[in-house]
Amino acid sequence: MSSTCLVVMGVSGAGKSTVAQLLAHHLQWPSAEADDFHPEANIDRMTAGLPLTDDDRMPWLRSIRDWSARHSADGTSTIVTCSALKRTYRDVLRQSRASVRFVHLSGTAETIGGRLTSRSGHFMPSSLLHSQFDDLEPLEPDEDGTTVDTANPPEDLVRQTLAALDLNTCPAVR
């Protein structure tokens, strides 16, 4: 049975959790937050204002990949938020047995920075946003996915994503 893993990607504060929650509701697919897969050391590092390195991120990406692969084993499609900033990171996620597709929530540092500054109760400091943009490698034409402008309201982003990825016809969509 074929299954999909839809990865909602983008820099910190791009709106991944907000949009993924709505997508999961529409598609009725199990969802996960990439932040829940970070080892404590990664959270401590970011809380201290230090960007993660490739070495910090690789085991984390593999555990997200394994989560989607486990669901895929019985044909269950999934949604996961994950910054997935670099193509090599997306390559790790694509090693899942699911068909891995991406929606990139793209936006300017001004828009996203403003949201981070007014967000409270989250470990990620807004001072790390510039390092997230430094690492960001947008989806390339040969990667399965779509890019939407996060300046739009979340419900519009969901509609655009479902249409662009042809998921409106998915039997689970209500």
Ligand X SMILES: Nc1ncnc2c1ncn2[C@@H]1O[C@H](COP(=O)(O)OP(=O)(O)OP(=O)(O)O)[C@@H](O)[C@H]1O
The amino acid that residue 9 corresponds to is: M
Nearest to 49 by CA among 132, 128, 130: 128
Q: Could you say whether residue 12 binds ligand X (CB under 6 A)?
A: yes
By CB under 6 A, name the one of 42, 77, 150, 161 that touches ligand X. 150
Q: Which is nearer to ligand GCO, 4 or 83 (CB)?
A: 83
- Find all residues with CB under 8 Å of 166, minimum gap 6, and list them: none
User: Shortest distance, CB of residue 129 to ligand X, whole angstroms?
Assistant: 9
- Judged by CB under 6 A, does residue 42 bind ligand X? no
Residue 15: contacted member of ligand X, ligand GCO, none (CB under 5 to 8 Å, by partner type): ligand X
User: What is the side-by-side order of every strand in the sheet holding 78-81?
Assistant: 31-33, 78-81, 4-9, 99-106, 145-149
Give CA–CA dist 54/59, Å, rounded.
9
CA angle 125, 129, 132 (to 5 degrees): 125
Joined tokens for residue 173: 């969509």
The answer to whether 164 touches 149, Cβ cutoff 8 Å, is: no
Q: Which is nearer to ligand GCO, 70 or 115 (CB)?
A: 115
Beta bridge partners of 147: 104
Smaller CB distance to ligand GCO: residue 91 or 159? 91
**Residue 16: CB minimum distance to ligand GCO, A:** 7
Residue 72: name its binding partner from ligand X, ligand GCO, none (Cβ under 5 to 8 Å by kind).
Answer: none
57 binds, among ligand GCO, ligand X, none (CB under 5 to 8 A by kind): ligand GCO
Q: Which residues bind ligand X (CB under 6 A)?
A: 10, 12-18, 35, 81, 115, 119, 124, 150, 153-154, 157
